[in-house]
Amino acid sequence: MSGSGTQQAAHSLAFRVMRLCRPTLHVDTSPLKFDPCDLLFGEDLFDDPVASSHLPRLLDSINVGQSNNNSTDPSDFSYRTRFLLQHPSDSLGLPGLLVLPQSFGAIYLGETFCSYISINNSSNFEVRDVTIKAEIQTERQRILLLDTSKSPVESIRAGGRYDFIVEHDVKELGAHTLVCTALYNDGDSERKYLPQFFKFMVSNPLSVRTKVRVVKETTFLEACIENHTKSNLYMDQVEFEPAQHWSATMLKAEDHSVEHNLLTREVSKPPVLIRSGGGIHNYLYQLRSSSQVTAQVKVEGSNVLGKLQITWRTNLGEPGRLQTQHILGNPITRKVIELQAVEVPSVIILEKPFLVHLNLINQTERVLGPFEVWLSQSDSLDEKAIMVNGLQTTTLGEVQALGSLKFQLNLIAIKNGIQKISGFTVFDTVEKKTYDSLLELEIYVDSE
């Protein structure tokens, strides 16, 4: 973390900022070993002339014991025995599996920034009534992390310090500044103000790419998550939260494990591993619109599908959490009217009239109509399979806002087999608008 102080006169106090984070894993093939004499005697042994005079003889006896137990061949340069314990004291060595971070490290969006801050008194006299503030500044906002105005630190002795810990959930990308200020009485009772600034950058740990495909009445959402960090990410949860009037189901590949393994997996739910440096994993969701959606919602609804909630942990369990912006689907076509088939006869006999019951729905918030409805036919008589029996045009009254009007058409079939009824045309006599291709039906015509 880069830091800067104030340009004023020398201060008795100074801030030191250290990031609190877990150590990293490191496999050291050459463990650090030490002499057991360091544990048995310590440095105070050399202060006693009598004890120090016997030290060479004691060290020789220990070294002889070690050499007797040491079976390593000095001519073997393969280091095959480097992990073997040649002497019981070797088990006391430091393996170096956990290493404390040597730098401030990278800070990623969605993590919790945790910092250990120490304000030190480097002067030779006590400072009193210390008011400390710590806050995070970004391009958009300022977040107060600590304020001791109501209960100032009574005093910090000469050479002493006052320590505290601050935490902040990182929710913005880009430059951040940790501002630490202290207002205190110096040794000469002069009131002094110390500001210090510590800057750091916040990066994006992962990227989410989405694709939306619509197959008939079902919408499929594919989410590809890519890891941009230098450590593995273990995805605890990648859950899609659908928008209102949508439902979502995650689609997974079939697992052919044994039943007890399936039960264990369901209980433990191992996280999905996305490897460091560009690893990716794909998720697939099946979305369906609610069957209880009203006509008003269809008109006023948008193409927002929902958003993803993503939680993960790194190698040593540090948590992270992100929420994506709203994911948009294909633009919704706002229909003014809709024509539905309510009832169609199950048995239709060739050249005998039959009734088709229909429902005309007004999907706007204004009154529409009156309407005229007819069944358009091809110019060629050979291509006609279904004809209107009787009046060619049916007249309907007005349809109230978000309302519907039921009516029926009297038709007759002139061809056998599977036939299609299409060409329903609705004409608004007031607005002079024609609505075509609103409905297509498939029927079977029997000759008996």
pLDDT digits (tens, 9 = 90+) for 228-262: 998 899 999 999 999 888 889 998 876 555 454 55
156 confidence band (pLDDT: 50, 70, 90) = very high
Q: What is the pLDDT of residue 298?
A: 45
Greater confidence (177 vs 68) lies with: 177
Query: Is pTM, for the whole model, over 0.75?
Result: no
Furthest-apart CA atoms within the chain: distance in Å: 130
Q: Which of 83-87, 88-92, 342-346, 380-384 has the highest mean pLDDT?
A: 342-346
Q: How far is CA 106 from CA 19, 96, 220, 272, 330, in A?
A: 11, 22, 35, 23, 38
Q: Give the helix/strand (H/E) hosting 142.
A: strand 142-147
Q: Looking at residues 315-328, what average pLDDT do you find?
A: 88
Instruction: Give the pLDDT score at 147.
Output: 94
Instruction: Supply the pLDDT for residue 94.
Output: 58
Confidence of residue 300 (pLDDT cuts 50, 70, 90): very low
Report which of residues 239 and 39 the model is more confident about.
239
Look at residue 301 in the predicted model and tell me its pLDDT: 47
* Long-range residue pairs from 14-17, CB within 8 A, at least 24 positions apart, any chain: 14/119, 14/120, 14/122, 14/194, 14/196, 15/117, 15/118, 15/119, 15/120, 15/180, 15/182, 15/194, 15/196, 15/198, 16/117, 16/118, 16/119, 16/120, 17/115, 17/116, 17/117, 17/178, 17/180, 17/198
Q: Confidence class of residue 179 from pLDDT cuts 50, 70 and 90? A: very high
Classify strands 280-289 and 319-323 as parallel, antiparallel or unpaired: unpaired
One DSSP character per residue, 292-338 reads: T--HHHHHH--SEEEEEEEEEE-TT--EEEEEPPPEE-SPPP--SEE
Structure tokens at 211: 């694709």
Contact 440, 422 (CB under 8 A): yes
Q: What is the dihedral of CA 326, 330, 335, 338, to 10 degrees?
A: -110
Q: Report how far residue 310's alpha carbon sits from residue 272's, in angstroms, rounded to the nearest whole number.
A: 12
Q: 192: which 2 tokens?
A: 């002094």
Q: 112-126 b/e with 16+ CB inside 10 Å = b?
A: ebebebebbbebeeb
Three-state SS for 418? strand
Domains detected in the chain: 2-21+101-203 (2.60.40.10), 37-96 (no CATH), 216-328 (2.60.40.1230), 337-446 (2.60.40.10)
Task: For residue 51, give every residue at least 6 positions away whose Cβ sits within 8 Å of its Cβ, in sequence order, or none.
Answer: 45
Smallest Cα–Cα separation from 203: which of 182, 179, 229, 225?
Answer: 229
Please give the DSSP secondary-structure letter assigned to residue 93. S
Q: Is the pLDDT of residue 366 over 60?
A: yes
Residue 45's pLDDT is: 59
**Is there a contact between 227 and 274 (Cβ–Cβ < 8 Å)?**
yes
pLDDT tens for each residue of 58-85: 656 555 555 554 555 555 555 556 556 6
Q: Which residue has the tokens 């091809």?
A: 378
Token readout for 71 is 């079976």
Q: Reply yes or no on whether the pLDDT at 382 is more than 90.
A: no
* Mean pLDDT over each residue of the chain, to the nearest integer: 80
- Report the pLDDT value the prediction gives residue 153, as an integer from 0 to 100: 92
Confidence of residue 361 (pLDDT cuts 50, 70, 90): very high
Distances (CA, A) of 29 to 51, 95, 133, 278, 326: 37, 9, 46, 28, 49
Q: What pLDDT, on the 0 to 100 scale, is given for residue 390?
A: 85
